[in-house]
Each structure stands twice: as structure tokens, then as C-alpha cells.
């Protein structure tokens, strides 16, 4: 299959589309930690510390010596690579230190250090934050060494270290004949994905990643270790199911429900560009009638000098024979023969490797080379904006989306960019919008607009891409439909209601309970009070 050039191109496009395709005293009292059976850290608690003033190099050395993991400082050789996030547009971010924590106690020590020396802090798992929010000027608490994955087939649960990357999770879970629904990009971290929701190719059948979360272990701002589940700290569990990464504490481990692995069939159909609007309109009608077993997307690409591409892809939990009549009905609705079509059956792990753009690669190779010496994946530079479709589009609305891609091409002829529509519905929409912090439960589809660039792309093209996204946000997307918090967008003005809607009030309450002094703070973090309207 990998020798088929068309298929390789499709895998490449899928890969591109992984973008185109997320007062301390009162706190201590409110947590009643011992009563809930939470572990007491052997690390000192920040609540017991006073402000020790700016951190000296001796203080940083003391922190390094206190960790079972390691601390990388600007003088270390590894710093040049270790400071980088996935998106290479954040190349200028230079934290004062990166702590590779190996235990919850390491995390507590980092929090104690940061709060007592007034050092800004953030947590990092896979480093894929669209806003660069897993880096900061101060201390990055990196959890990537806490990445063990284990499956209990008697309870159908998986326990996943907060720094595990998706491909490694799928690998371990899949080898036990189980499935955890999640996103496509192999190097995305489980922490960021889960905390912001987790939309993926099995979401219509099994829900979001966060819908499958049973418990989460976190270190809260006061350095305590807390396990949130349906009984203890259930408010914190609720907030961790879509309330966004980096807001309430540093997660160290998650336990998820997993599911018996189904037979999986993948499909792709490409259509002539002249049929693009009809394809998009028909696809939106069609997904309203398809079973939960079928997830699909619809994509419009401007491929720079390669012109345009219109395609739909899907993942079906069932056989190719059972999928065939569903695809026939889509083709009939579109009324134009596809210019290319592919249907193939795979097991779950193979399917996730294809979705990851890693078809034919060993798992070790399906990583960034900075994470795994065998890694063959590279960082990329991109910008994005998200929105939602509340009701299936009319032909005129679909045409405006096609025109929007043509607009990108005419203003930035060498840039690659896309509008990608991901089907919602099914298990995603059966959860009430206030049952977890993930509020977007009545959508037909999510939309993501992206453009990406390379080292030699002229600045004028990159600026044109940004102007395109701004125009889309102002003129084409409907701001009242919301935006996906995992596609966090620093340019969004009313991000609080776009990401969290009516759940914001409760998230603010949880924030006040677990981080009243706002130690976990960045440009789009959950505030300690509701914004004034
Ligand atoms: C190429 C690409 C493909 C993607 N595909 C999908 C997809 O298919 N489906 C989908 O839903 N999303 C997808 N996303 C979006 C992705 O879910 C978010 O970017 C997510 O936040 C990334 O998580 P991370 O751990 O890799 O990132 P990070 O940058 O490490 O973290 C993201 C946020 O979570 C915080 N955080 C990190 N670790 C912790 C922790 N241990 N405790 C508390 N907070 C923490 C960070 O401070 C930051 O604010 C994709 C992103 C990229 C770049």
C-alpha cells in the first residue's frame, strides 16, 4: 500500500490535515486532603513557604539536586532542542529552566520552587499547544518522562502517564486488543489532548478522549497530590474533561475506559474541484444519517502551486462490505464520480498509524527525532482558527467555504492551507453539554482552518495567511458557534465563551477552589473571576 503514490500523497495530506485536520489557606481547607485519602507529598508544600525573592543560580542548582528527574538550564547543551515546542513558530521562547519530572514529588518541588521565587510556570506534555502555552519565561514542568501505559483487561481500563504520546498509547492499548479514542497526531501528549477534550476518528462511536476519563492524578498549586474521580474531587474531574490544559494543576496520570478493538475500514474519496461545494453540502447532509460507527471528515485544500483538492475521508468500525452502501449514498448525493477512491480494512493500530501519517513505519520512527533517536517526524510551522457548524450548510454557505479557499490561493499562492470539517454527532452529542466541561455537544461538525509554511516561505506569504485567518474569523465563521479549546487561538477575543460557553461559570468556581492564587496562569487560562461583559 505504501508503494502506491496516490496513497502516499493521501497519507501526506492526512498528515498535513492533522493540523487542518484542542488564597492558599482557603485552598488547603477546601481540599480536606486527608479526608479524601489523597497522598501527602514528601516534597515541601508551597503553602508553607514564604517569598524567597528572585531565584539565584544557587537556587536553581538546589532545585536540580532535589529532583529525581533532571533540570535543563540555558547553559546545558540539551537546552537548544529541549526548549522547542512542536510548532516551530515558537522558536524564540526561552524558559529559564525545563524540569523533566519523574514523579509527582518532582512536580511538587517545582511548584514550591516557582511559587517561593515568583518564577512563572507552565506544564508541558507533548508540547503541541497552538498558542505556545506550554512554554513560558520561567519554569517548564515537563511530564514526558511520566509516560508509562498499562492496560487492565479485566476492568477494561488503561492507566496512562501524563507525558505519554498518542502513538505510544495506541500501541500499548492496541496490543492488548483495546481501543482508546483520541486524536490523530502521533506526538500529541495525552495530557493536553484529554484536558481540552480529545476529538478523533472513533469519537462518534466511543466519545471524546475526555468522555472516557475515569480518574486523573494531579499535583495542585499547593503541591498536594490529588486523585480526582467520580467520588473524590468530582468537580476537578469534571473540569479536567474539557476545561483546558494548564488550568487546575499538573496532571501526572490518567485512567481511561478502553473498548474492545473493532474491525476498522478506512476510506478516501477525492472529487474534482468544480464539485467541491456540492461535496461539502452533501457530506453535511449525509453525516446526519450515518451510524455512530462511521466518523468522517471533509477537506478543502489550497496546495500552493499544486492547485486545489476536495476530499472526504472516514474511519468505519465495521467491514468494507458494510461500509459500501453508506459510501454509495454519499456518492449519489454528490452526483459526481470521485476522481480517486480508496477503501481498505485494517486493525486499529494500523488505522491509527495511517491516520498519523506513519503507515509502514515502526512505532519508534513515528516520533519526532528529538523524542526518539529513530524518530522520522519533523516539527512544523502553522497557524489555525476553529469554529463549528450548528446546522448543515446550504449550497450558498458551502460555496462561500470553497470561495474562502480560493481566496487563500489568490492572496498567498505558495502557501498550503485547508478548511477541514470533522463530523460530530453520535456519542459526542449524546453527552449533555454540562455533564463534563466540554460544552460543544450539539454540533454537526467542527471546522478548522489552517495554513502552514516552511523555512523559505517569504514573510509576505505568511502575513497573507494570517490576514486570511483573520478575515475568516471576522467574515466567514459564525462566532456564536464557539471554538475548540484544543485548537487554542491567541487571536480570539471572546475565547472564554467560545471555548466554554455556559460551563465557564463552573470552571471559574473550580479554579478558585484548586488554584485561588492563579499560579497556573497564561493568556487564555481559566480566570479566578468571571470576565465583565
Ligand atoms: C499536529 C497536531 C495535530 C492535532 N490533532 C488533534 C486531533 O486529532 N484531535 C484533537 O482533539 N486535537 C488535536 N490537536 C490539538 C491538541 O489536542 C492540542 O494542541 C493539545 O493541547 C496538545 O497537547 P500536548 O500535551 O501535546 O501539548 P502541550 O503544549 O504540552 O500542552 C497543551 C496545554 O496543556 C497544558 N498541559 C500540558 N501538560 C499538562 C499536564 N501534565 N497537566 C496540566 N496541563 C498540562 C499545557 O500547559 C498547555 O496549556 C492537534 C495538534 C497538533 C499540533
**What is the Cα 287 distance to its own chain's centre?**
23
Ramachandran assignment for 197, one of left (phi > 0), alpha (psi -120 to 50 degrees), beta (any other): left
Going by CA atoms, what residue is nearest to atom 9 of ligand 1? 183
Percent of residues, the chain, with pLDDT higher than 90: 87
**Per-residue exposure over 180-194, b if at least 16 CB sit within 10 Å of its own CB, e if not:** bbbbbbbbbbbbbbb
Contact 442, 433 (CB under 8 A): yes
Answer yes or no: is the C-beta of 188 below 6 A from any ligand 1 atom: yes
CA distance linking residue 344 with residue 351, whole number of Å:
10
- The predicted-structure confidence for 291-302, as pLDDT tens digits, reads as follows 999 999 999 999
Answer yes or no: is the C-beta of 16 below 6 A from any ligand 1 atom: no
Answer yes or no: is the C-beta of 133 below 6 A from any ligand 1 atom: yes
Answer yes or no: is the C-beta of 162 below 6 A from any ligand 1 atom: yes
> Which pLDDT does position 532 carry in this prediction?
79
Answer yes or no: is the C-beta of 123 below 6 A from any ligand 1 atom: yes
CA distance linking residue 515 with residue 223, whole number of Å:
11
Percent of residues, the chain, with pLDDT higher than 70: 91
Answer yes or no: is the C-beta of 250 below 6 A from any ligand 1 atom: yes
Distance 472 CA to ligand 1 centre (A): 23
Distance 195 CA to ligand 1 centre (A): 8
Contact 469, 451 (CB under 8 A): yes
**What is the Cα 214 distance to its own chain's centre?**
19
Answer yes or no: is the C-beta of 143 below 6 A from any ligand 1 atom: yes
How far is CA 167 from each of CA 170, 243, 289, 355, 426, rounded to the nearest angstrom?
5, 23, 31, 10, 24
Answer yes or no: is the C-beta of 246 below 6 A from any ligand 1 atom: yes
- Name the architecture of domain 149-260: 2-Layer Sandwich (3.30)
How far is CA 87 from each of CA 135, 140, 378, 453, rounded to the nearest angstrom?
12, 16, 10, 11
Distance 142 CA to ligand 1 centre (A): 13
> Which pLDDT does position 49 carry in this prediction?
58
3-state secondary structure 421-448: EEECCHHHHHCCCCCCCCCCCCCCEEEE
CA distance linking residue 227 with residue 252, whole number of Å:
10
In the chain, which stretches have pLDDT less than 70?
A: 1-49
Contact 220, 249 (CB under 8 A): yes
* Ligand 1 pocket, mutate which of 14, 87, 245 (most atoms under 8 A from CB): 245
The backbone torsions φ and ψ at residue 410, rounded to the nearest 5 degrees and listed phi first, read -75, -30
3-state helix, strand, coil in the chain (%, to 5): 40, 20, 40
CA distance linking residue 228 with residue 208, whole number of Å:
18
CATH 3.30.465.10 domain position(s) in the chain: 149-260
Answer yes or no: is the C-beta of 192 below 6 A from any ligand 1 atom: yes
Answer yes or no: is the C-beta of 129 below 6 A from any ligand 1 atom: yes
Answer yes or no: is the C-beta of 284 below 6 A from any ligand 1 atom: no
Distance 283 CA to ligand 1 centre (A): 28
3-state secondary structure 6-32: HHHHHHHHHHHHHHHCCCHHHHHHHHC
Answer yes or no: is the C-beta of 357 below 6 A from any ligand 1 atom: no
CATH 3.40.462.20 domain position(s) in the chain: 8-14+262-487
Distance 312 CA to ligand 1 centre (A): 25
CA distance linking residue 402 with residue 183, whole number of Å:
26
Answer yes or no: is the C-beta of 439 below 6 A from any ligand 1 atom: no
Please give the mean pLDDT across all residues of the chain.
91
Query: Is the pTM for the entire model greater than 0.95?
Result: no
Q: What is the dihedral of CA 81, 86, 88, 92, to 10 degrees?
A: -60
> Which pLDDT does position 114 carry in this prediction?
97
Going by CA atoms, what residue is nearest to atom 28 of ligand 1? 127
Distance 190 CA to ligand 1 centre (A): 7
CA distance linking residue 253 with residue 276, whole number of Å:
43
Neighbour-count burial of 498, counting CB atoms closer than 10 A to its CB (0-12 exposed, 13-18 middle, 19+ buried): buried
Answer yes or no: is the C-beta of 186 below 6 A from any ligand 1 atom: no
CA distance linking residue 159 with residue 216, whole number of Å:
9
Answer yes or no: is the C-beta of 69 below 6 A from any ligand 1 atom: no
Distance 373 CA to ligand 1 centre (A): 22
Answer yes or no: is the C-beta of 20 below 6 A from any ligand 1 atom: no
Distance 487 CA to ligand 1 centre (A): 8
3-state secondary structure 206-266: HCCCHHHEEEEEEECCCCCEEEECCCCCHHHHHHCCCCCCCCCCEEEEEEEECEECCCEEE
> Which pLDDT does position 3 carry in this prediction?
31
| Pairing label, strands 294-303, 157-161 | unpaired
* CA 209 to ligand 1: nearest atom: 11
Closest to 120 measured CA to CA, from 497, 529, 525:
525
Answer yes or no: is the C-beta of 383 below 6 A from any ligand 1 atom: no
Distance 244 CA to ligand 1 centre (A): 9
Answer yes or no: is the C-beta of 358 below 6 A from any ligand 1 atom: no
> Which pLDDT does position 305 carry in this prediction?
85
Distance 196 CA to ligand 1 centre (A): 7
Residue 495 grid cell = 475565547
Span 8-14+262-487: which CATH code? 3.40.462.20
Answer yes or no: is the C-beta of 134 below 6 A from any ligand 1 atom: yes
Q: Is residue 476 within a helix (H) or strand (E), and if so which, with residue range?
A: none
Contact 220, 298 (CB under 8 A): no
Amino acid at each position: 500500500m505504501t508503494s502506491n503514490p496516490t496513497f502516499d500523497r493521501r497519507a501526506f495530506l492526512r498528515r498535513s490535515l492533522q493540523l487542518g485536520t484542542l488564597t492558599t489557606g482557603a485552598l488547603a481547607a477546601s481540599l480536606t486532603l486527608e479526608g479524601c485519602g489523597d497522598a501527602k507529598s514528601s516534597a515541601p508544600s508551597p503553602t508553607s513557604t514564604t517569598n524567597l525573592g528572585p531565584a539565584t543560580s544557587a537556587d536553581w542548582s538546589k532545585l536540580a539536586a532535589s529532583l529525581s528527574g533532571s533540570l535543563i538550564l540555558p547553559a546545558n547543551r540539551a537546552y537548544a532542542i529541549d526548549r522547542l515546542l512542536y510548532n516551530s513558530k515558537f522558536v524564540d521562547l526561552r524558559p529559564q529552566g525545563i524540569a523533566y519530572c519523574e514523579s509527582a514529588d518532582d512536580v511538587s518541588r517545582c511548584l514550591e520552587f516557582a511559587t517561593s521565587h515568583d518564577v512563572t510556570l507552565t506544564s508541558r506534555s507533548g508540547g503541541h499547544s497552538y498558542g505556545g502555552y506550554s512554554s513560558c519565561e520561567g519554569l517548564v514542568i515537563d511530564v514526558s518522562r511520566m509516560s508509562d501505559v498499562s492496560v487492565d483487561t479485566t476492568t477494561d481500563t488503561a492507566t496512562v502517564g501524563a507525558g505519554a504520546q498518542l502513538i505510544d498509547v495506541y500501541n500499548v492499548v492496541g496490543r492488548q486488543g483495546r481501543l482508546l479514542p483520541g486524536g490523530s497526531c502521533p506526538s500529541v501528549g495525552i495530557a493536553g489532548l484529554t484536558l481540552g477534550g480529545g476529538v478523533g476518528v472513533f469519537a462518534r462511536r466511543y466519545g471524546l478522549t475526555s468522555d472516557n476519563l475515569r480518574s486523573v492524578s494531579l499535583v495542585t498549586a499547593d503541591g498536594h497530590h490529588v486523585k480526582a474521580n467520580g467520588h473524590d474531587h468530582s468537580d476537578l474531574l469534571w473540569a479536567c474533561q474539557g476545561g483546558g490544559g494548564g488550568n487546575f494543576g499538573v496532571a501526572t496520570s490518567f485512567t481511561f475506559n478502553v473498548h474492545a478493538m473493532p474491525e476498522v475500514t478506512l476510506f478516501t474519496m477525492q472529487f474534482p474541484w468544480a464539485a467541491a461545494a456540492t461535496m461539502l453540502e452533501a457530506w453535511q447532509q449525509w453525516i446526519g444519517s450515518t451510524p455512530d460507527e462511521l466518523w468522517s471528515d471533509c477537506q478543502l485544500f489550497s496546495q500552493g502551486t499544486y492547485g486545489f483538492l476536495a476530499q472526504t475521508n472516514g474511519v468505519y468500525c465495521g467491514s468494507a462490505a458494510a461500509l459500501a452502501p453508506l459510501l454509495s449514498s454519499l456518492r449519489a448525493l454528490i452526483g459526481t464520480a470521485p476522481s480517486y477512491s480508496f477503501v481498505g480494512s485494517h486493525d486499529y493500530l494500523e488505522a491509527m498509524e495511517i491516520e498519523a501519517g506513519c503507515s509502514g513505519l515502526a512505532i519508534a520512527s513515528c516520533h519526532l527525532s528529538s523524542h526518539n533517536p529513530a524518530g522520522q517526524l519533523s516539527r512544523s510551522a502553522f497557524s489555525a482558527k476553529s469554529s463549528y457548524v450548528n446546522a448543515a450548510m446550504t449550497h450558498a454557505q458551502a460555496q462561500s467555504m470553497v470561495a474562502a479557499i480560493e481566496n487563500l490561493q489568490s492572496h498567498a499562492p505558495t502557501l498550503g492551507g485547508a478548511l477541514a470539517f470533522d463530523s460530530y454527532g453520535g456519542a459526542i452529542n449524546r453527552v449533555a453539554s454540562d455533564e463534563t466541561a466540554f460544552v460543544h455537544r450539539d454540533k454537526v461538525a467542527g471546522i478548522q482552518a489552517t495554513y502552514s509554511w516552511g523555512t523559505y516561505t517569504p514573510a509576505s506569504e505568511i502575513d497573507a495567511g494570517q490576514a486570511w485567518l483573520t478575515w475568516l474569523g471576522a467574515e466567514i465563521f459564525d462566532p456564536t458557534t464557539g471554538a475548540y479549546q484544543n485548537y487554542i487561538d491567541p487571536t480570539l477575543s471572546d475565547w472564554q465563551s467560545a471555548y466554554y460557553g455556559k460551563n465557564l461559570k463552573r470552571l471559574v468556581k473550580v479554579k478558585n477552589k484548586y488554584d485561588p492564587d492563579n499560579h497556573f496562569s497564561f493568556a487564555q487560562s481559566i480566570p479566578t473571576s468571571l470576565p465583565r461583559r
